[in-house]
Amino acid sequence: MKTAVVAIGGNALITPGKRLTFENQMERINQTSRQLADLIEMGYDIVLAHGNGPQIGNILLQNELTRDEAPEMPLDALVGESQGLIGYMLQQSLSNEFARRGLNKIAISILTQVLVNEKDPAFTTPTKPIGMYYAKERAEKLAAERGWVFGRERDRDTYRRLVPSPEPIGIVESDALRRFVFGGERQVEVIIACGGGGIPVIRRDDRYVGIEAVVDKDLAAYVLAIDLEEKLFIMLTDVDYVYLDHGTPNERPLLQIKIDEARRYLDENQFGEGTMAPKIIAAIRFLEQGGEEAIITSLGKLKNAIINGDGTHITK
């Protein structure tokens, strides 16, 4: 049985430039499901992880606009809410696509908690922007009232809330996920897990406790892949390849590279800090901890990445 963890970005959930309506999201997710079903028809059993950036932004906005009428929920609970929303859309769309093709498969989304370290330095220096854009005066007022940290947007006179983005160190439900993924000959479940990077939790007094943070979805997906002892890890984004000198006249794609090359390019700051760098870091750590191959490419190139070697392939 061929298996892989596949992490999909926000472009697989909503077409850039379109409003975040339920209908627009389902239209895009239906397109995504067709691409993923192609991979399953090729004989792969996949575990699917996904981002939640636009959706968590919408939920935070709803929270903000209704806070005088309804109690606000903590950020970890809102991540869980986004997992349920996106998981519902993905599992319905995928299951419908499987039925249309006559595949004996059904998609199941699992609310997933991701363990982080309460002493992670990220908790003292929040860096992850989330939610609404605020004018300076409003940001200062919210900072004073709620203790939020804000950062000024580059090239814009607006501010966004910054939250911690700690390193994931484990998947709470990994044993249960393993039983689903490796269910044997009659295994029909396609698992959706670690949505939005997973719900961040810490261990305190031998209990799991939610904590306000956002975990990078690619880093969470690599930890999931290691927990499941997967050998192939695929990250789908909005470009066909990882590029050197991206956005310059010297831009060139990376095709087949070794882990040492990936480390060197990362040290040379070749990759965007909030965009491609986390994917390269996730790929390196996956390979360091037992994985065999990481692929970074676009959703549209997924099938060709497996058949013809399209996309960026990183190996030991």
**Annotated catalytic, 10?**
yes
- Please identify which of the residues 9, 80, 131, 217 carries the catalytic annotation: 217
Examine the residue annotation and report whether 128 is marked as an active-site residue of this protein: yes
d(CA 252, CA 257): 13
Catalytic residue among 9, 11, 51, 87: 11
Measured distance CA(150)–CA(94) in Å, rounded: 38
Residue of 302, 308, 295 lying closest to 234 (CA atoms): 295
Residue 170 · residue 114 · CB < 8 Å: yes
Look up tokens 């930890």; give the residue.
223
With the CA atoms of 40, 82, 301 and 247 taken in that order, what torsion angle do they form, in degrees rounded to the nearest 10? -160
Q: Is 279 a catalytic residue?
A: yes
- DSSP per-residue codes, 36-52: HHHHHHTTEEEEEEE--
Is position 316 annotated as part of the catalytic site? no
CB atoms within 10 A of CB 53: 18
DSSP structural state of residue 108: E
Residue 11 falls in the annotated catalytic set? yes
Question: How many of the other CB atoms lie within 10 Å of CB of 176?
Answer: 14
| Residue in 51, 105, 128, 291 annotated catalytic | 128
**CA of 253: how far to CAs of 52, 250, 281, in Å?**
27, 10, 18
Instruction: Tell me the β-bridge partners of 2.
Output: 44
Question: Which residue in the list 279, 291, 301, 311 is annotated as catalytic?
Answer: 279
* Positions marked active-site: 10-11, 128, 217, 279
